[in-house]
Structure 1
Amino acid sequence: MAATVTALDTRRSGTGTVGGPTVRAAIDAFLDSPKVTSNRHTLRAYTNVLDRAAELLGPNRRLADVADDELATTLSQLWGTAKPATWNRNRAAVGSWLTWCATRQHWTAPAVPAAAERRRENNDDTKAVSRSRIDRLCRRRNVPLREKTLWRMLYESASRASAVLALNIEDLDLANKQARITVKGGDTMWITWGTDTAHLLPRLIAGREHGPLFLSEHRPGPHRRATTDTRDICPETGRARLGYDRARILLGHHGDGLRLHQLRHSSATHLGDANVSANVIMTKTGHKSLRSVQRYVKPGLAAVHEATETLSGPRRRG
C-alpha cells in the first residue's frame, strides 16, 4: 500500500522521480506555470536566471538535496559582484522559483539564506536629465526616425522600455494618442503620449497595419528566423522586432551614455516638478503603490535651482 501511495504521489508531482524532482525538472515546471507563461518577457527573464543557476547547482540533482548554503554560494558566484539592483532582481527570481516549489508543489526545496540577503540600492538623484537635453537629442539630424520616435514615446509615456518595444501596430489608438501595453505581472494598461510622438508615429508606421511597431534594421537570417516567435516578425517587411539590448546600445551611442530607463525616470520627475499629483503619476507610470512614486514627487534639480534664486538679493541695475 505504501508503495502504491508513493507512486501516486510521484505521478501527481509530474516529475517521475521518487523523492521529488531534479533541479532541472523543478525549473521546467515553474517556467511552464501560468505565473510565468502569462508574460513572455517575464518568461525570458526567469529562464535566463534559472538556467544559469541550474548549471552551477547541478541540473540532474534532486532539488531536495540542495542545501541553503550551496544556494548562497551559487548566487554569489553568479552575481556577487553585480550592482545591487541586478543582485536583488536575480536573487528575487531564484527566490520566487523556490517559494513556488515549496508552497504550490509542496516539494522539499532550499530557501534563500540570510547570507544572501537583499542589498541596499542607493538612490541616484542624477538619473533624471533635463527636458531640454531630451528635446535636443530627439531633434538631432543624424538620429534616425525610429530612434527619435522610440525616445519620444518613452519620455512622453513614462513607460518601461520593454513594454514599449513589445508594442504592435494593432495595439495603437493613434487618434487618441494611446496604446495598450502589458506590464510586469501580466496586467494590461493604457499608455498615452503627446504631440511630438503623435507627429512621428505615422512616418514610422509608413502604412503598415500589423506587426511590431519598432523594427530592427535588417531581416533575420534563416537560423534566427526559425528561432524567433512569429509575433516578433513583421508580416509585411520580414524584419524582426527591435530588441532591448540593441535599443540600449543605440541610445548610449547617440545620447552620450544616456540609459533607456532615464527617459522614464526623467518623465516622472518632470511631472512631479510640475506639481502633478502622485496619484496621476502612479497611474501614468503603472506603479502599484504611492510609495514607489514618492521619489518622483520630490522636486528635481531644476526646481531646486529655481528655489535657490529666491535666496539671492535683488539684481542691481548697471
Structure 2
Amino acid sequence: MVRLRARPAPPDTSKALSRERVAQILGSGAPLRERVLWHLLYESSARAEEVLMLDVPDLDTANRCAVVTRKGGAREVVAWQTGTARLLPRLLAGRRSGPLFLTDRKARPSVAAGDIDPATGRARLSYRRAAELFENHTAGFDDGPYTLHQLRHSRLTHAAEDGASTPVLMKLSGHTSVRSLVKYARISDEGLRRYQAGSDPAARRR
C-alpha cells in the first residue's frame, strides 16, 4: 500500500483561524465527506496525512477514537468530539472495511488493493485532492484560501488558549519535543481578548 504524501511546501508560516471562522467552515453546506474530514482534522488535531490513511477497522466509534500512524511509524490514538461523532455514521453507511475517506469514482487498475474499498471499488482520497477541495471551499474568505494544516494549527492554538497542559498538547499534536509546540502556543488576538475579558476584575464585579 502506497503511503499518502503531502505536496512539497515551504516552512509553515500559517496562522491559527479564529474560533468563529472554524465554526463557519465546519458548519458550511459542503459535501458530507469533506465535513467529516474537516471536523476530524480540527477535533483530533491530527495531521491530514494521518487521517487520510485511516481504514474503517481503525475506528472505535463507541469511544470516539482511532489509531493513526504518526511520523516515524508510531501507532497512537487520536480522539474526536461531537461534531465528528454525529456525521461519521452517515459517511460509513454500514461499511466495515476499506479506506475511511473515498474518492468519488472507482479506482484505476494501478491502485493498490489496500487503497480500494472492496464494496464500492472506490479508492482512498488523496492528500492532493483533499487539500484542493479545502482550498477551493475557503477561497471566498477575505484572508483565504486556507490549508488543511490550519485546522490542526487552530485546534492546538485554541487548546493552549484554554489552558491545556504541555503533556496534553504533546499528546494532541503527536510531537515528542516540547520545542515543536512553540508555534502552536502563540496566543491569537482573539485569545488575548477572551483572556482579558475573563480576567478583568471590574467586569467580574459587574
Report TM bin, short chain.
0.7 to 0.9
* Structure 1 SS opposite 2:78: strand
Q: Which amino acid aligns with 1:185?
A: G
Shift of 1:40: 4.6
Is 1:294 aligned with 2:177?
Answer: no
Mapping for residues 202-213 of structure 1, pairs under 5 Å:
202-213=89-100
Per-residue CA shift, 1:246-304, capped at 9, x if unaligned? 00010011122110000000000000000100110101110011111122223222122
Is 1:134 aligned with 2:29?
Answer: no
Is 1:185 aligned with 2:72?
Answer: yes
Per-residue CA shift, 1:160-213, capped at 9, x if unaligned? 000100000000000000001101111100000001100010000001110000
**Distance of 1:303 and 1:139 partners within structure 2:** 21
Q: Which amino acid aligns with 2:159?
A: L
- Call closer, same or farther: CA 1:307–1:139 in 2, change over 3 Å: closer
State the match for 2:170 in structure 1. 282
TM-score (normalizing by structure 1): 0.57
State the match for 1:236 in structure 2. 119
Indicate if the aligned counterparts of 2:16 and 2:157 stay in contact, CA closer than 8 A.
yes
Q: Comparing both structures, which one devotes a greater share of its residues to strand? A: 2
Indicate if the aligned counterparts of 2:170 and 2:181 stay in contact, CA closer than 8 A.
yes
State the match for 1:13 in structure 2. none
Shift of 1:230: 0.5
Q: Comparing both structures, which one devotes a greater share of its residues to helix? A: 1
Q: Which runs of 5+ in 2 are unaligned?
A: 140-144
Q: 1:263 aligns with which of 151, 159, 168?
A: 151
Whichever of the two has the greater Rg, that structure is 1
Mapping for residues 77-116 of structure 1, pairs under 5 Å:
83=10, 85=11
Percent identical among aligned pairs is 42
Shift of 1:308: 5.7
| Superposition CA RMSD, Å | 2.5
Indicate if the aligned counterparts of 2:51 and 2:68 stay in contact, CA closer than 8 A.
yes
Q: 1:254 aligns with which of 134, 137, 144?
A: 137
Aligned residues: 197
Mapping for residues 51-66 of structure 1, pairs under 5 Å:
none
Taking CA–CA contacts closer than 8 Å with sequence separation of 6 or more, which of the two structures ends up with the larger relative contact order?
Answer: 2
Q: Which runs of 5+ in 1 are unaligned?
A: 1-38, 50-81, 86-120
Shift of 1:305: 2.5
State the match for 1:41 in structure 2. 3
State the match for 1:145 in structure 2. 32
**Distance of 2:85 and 2:194 partners within structure 1:** 31
State the match for 1:68 in structure 2. none
Indicate if the aligned counterparts of 1:278 and 1:294 stay in contact, CA closer than 8 A.
no
Per-residue CA shift, 1:73-105, capped at 9, x if unaligned? xxxxxxxxx84x3xxxxxxxxxxxxxxxxxxxx
Q: Which amino acid aligns with 2:127?
A: Y
* Structure 1 SS opposite 2:109: helix
* Structure 1 SS opposite 2:77: strand
- Call closer, same or farther: CA 1:292–1:198 in 2, change over 3 Å: same
**Distance of 2:27 and 2:188 partners within structure 1:** 24
Indicate if the aligned counterparts of 2:68 and 2:75 stay in contact, CA closer than 8 A.
yes
State the match for 1:215 in structure 2. 102
TM-score (normalizing by structure 2): 0.87
